[in-house]
Amino acid sequence: MQNIHKITGDLLAIGASDHRLSRFENIFPLPNGVSYNNYVLIDDKTVLMDTSDSSVADQFLENLAGALGGRSLDYIVIHHMEPDHASMIGAILRLYPGITVVSGRQAFAMLCQFYPEHASVSHLEVAEGSTLCTGRHTLHFVAAPMVHWPEVMVSYDDYDKVLFSADAFGTFGAVEGSVFADEHDFRAEYLDEARRYYANIVGKFGAQVQTLLKKAAPLDIRIICPLHGPVHRDGIPFLLDLYQKWSSYTPETDDILVVYSSLYGHTESAAQAAAAQIHEKSGRPVRVYDASETDCSYLIAEVWRCAKIVLFCPTYNMGIYPKMLTFLHDIKALAVQNRIFALAENGTWSPVAAKLMAAELCTMKNVTILDTTLTIRSVLLAADAAKLDAFTSAVAEA
Ligand code: FEO
């Protein structure tokens, strides 16, 4: 059954959500599903903006046919060639043989890699500053390399003031009922997942997102149509402000994040005692997570939100406990900046985790590692009260 949403008089959202996929990119848990958005512009010419993942192929094709209402499809604009948006390009080129592909040069090279049988399809190459007039509407193309792949472009429709933003401003989570964010409680329903999506998918490319934000600043944007998640009308300044913070690696809050690993509960006990003291001394919210229980993507999202990060880690095979090591590797791989780290280690005979964690973190840009560390010998005892107090005071005052 068709499931089409009107965005403006000429623009229809025809995307679909997958509720059964358990992990995005086979990595990131999707407890609330994910939407694959695409849009059809009905003008003198008809334009499809991107396709979808093959998991929602039937819904996508049925919606597309319904949106076209018997008209042919003149153009497909490819903003991004990642398969969650490009898996149906082959089907579209077969179903609408008179179509012209509109994309950047690099996207077209990728299209030929994925679909070598379509290498001779009619192609209109666009680049930064190119336009495509479809009748009333003119699309203006803006290069957005590495947001999140190198070929990414966004486009701006100057008639309806719509930004087609590719992966930018997207979120995990299915979209049901209304497609508009302002008809949901975005902060309650989507904000945490928007942050987790940004941090894990686009987080590494903050400089490139900053460049895109600068290019978008002069535009009168009334609607943002991303490739995932709800469409934004109201709330665009809030969203732009979030992206400004996230892409500049500015902590969203001065909350404090405590992440621990613990084999038998002793390191956990110390982490919980420290968290309580840090909260008491700082007056700030403190969030505590077990790195073995919480998927790393949620911890990364919390890194984007919090200003200080306190790590409690057992020494394991003379190294860093594996779950904590994975977290540290992700923090480094995503190029986190502007954070304060405090390190605590446990070891029954030879604690070295703090030194090794510091070695992982010290190569990062604009990161402070507190000199005051906490070493636990098996169990944090009442006799250790002074060193716990010194550690938590250092965190609270940093
Ligand atoms: Fe949603 Fe980078 O693809």
pLDDT tens for 179-194 read 999 999 999 999 999 9
Of 185, 180, 278, 171, whose CA–CA distance to 232 is shortest? Answer: 180
Does residue 228 line the site of ligand 1, with CB under 6 A?
yes
Does residue 148 line the site of ligand 1, with CB under 6 A?
yes
Of 304, 293, 227, 244, whose CA–CA distance to 39 is shortest? Answer: 227
Per-residue model confidence as pLDDT tens digits over 192-238: 999 999 999 999 999 999 999 999 999 999 999 999 999 999 999 99
Taken in order 202, 206, 210, 215, the sign of the CA dihedral is negative
Region 167-181 average pLDDT: 97
Region 42-52 average pLDDT: 98
What's the pTM value of the predicted model, to 2 decimals?
0.96
Question: How far is the centre of ligand 1, averaged over its atoms, from the C-alpha of 148 (Å)?
Answer: 7
Return the SS3 of 316.
strand
Question: How far is the centre of ligand 1, averaged over its atoms, from the C-alpha of 27 (Å)?
Answer: 13
Does residue 227 line the site of ligand 1, with CB under 6 A?
yes
Q: How confident is the model at residue 274 (pLDDT cuts 50, 70, 90)?
A: very high
Question: How far is the centre of ligand 1, averaged over its atoms, from the C-alpha of 346 (Å)?
Answer: 40
Does residue 167 line the site of ligand 1, with CB under 6 A?
yes
Pick the atom of ligand 1 nearest to 167's CA. 1
Rg (the chain; Cα; Å): 24
Does residue 192 line the site of ligand 1, with CB under 6 A?
no
> How many Å apart are CA 392 and CA 396, to the nearest integer?
6
With vertex at residue 346, the alpha carbon angle to CA 344 and CA 352, rounded to the nearest 5 degrees, is: 80
For the chain, the average pLDDT equals: 97
Name 16's bridge partners: 36
